Amino acid sequence: MSWLAPVPDGVRLLVSAAPRASRTEVAGVAEGRLRVRVAAPPVEGAANDELVRFLSRALGVPKSAVAVTAGAAGRRKTVLVRGVTALAAQGLLEGRPRRG
């Protein structure tokens, strides 16, 4: 699966974020990226903060374990999540829509 890759101590996620949504939720997988609707505007890092909060809650890790490592200013982001396996991340994020 191209949106999720194991790395030492965690996983790397390729995310396509859509800011200013009515609520934060996983919206499926498209073009090799996990689509996440984010209920925050892309102003002063608010959308990135909401994405980090959502992923930390969805994956059961502290916010400090989630970092946007590339694409902070765009919709296409790379996110590193420490403390979770690829299998667990896939199970928690893929499939049914998940709201935060």
Residue-wise pLDDT for 72-88, tens only, equals: 999 999 999 999 999 99
| Within-domain flag for 98 | no
| Within-domain flag for 99 | no
State the Cα torsion 20-75-100-35 to the nearest 10°: 120
pTM, two decimals, is 0.92
Torsion sign over Cα 87, 93, 95, 96 = positive
CATH number at 45 reads 3.30.1200.10
- Residue 100 confidence (pLDDT): 54
Specify the number of domains making up the chain. Answer: 1
Main-chain phi, psi angles of 65, to 5 degrees: -90, -5
| Within-domain flag for 65 | yes
Burial class (CB in 10 A: 0-12, 13-18, 19+), 66: buried
The residue range of the domain holding 76 is 4-93
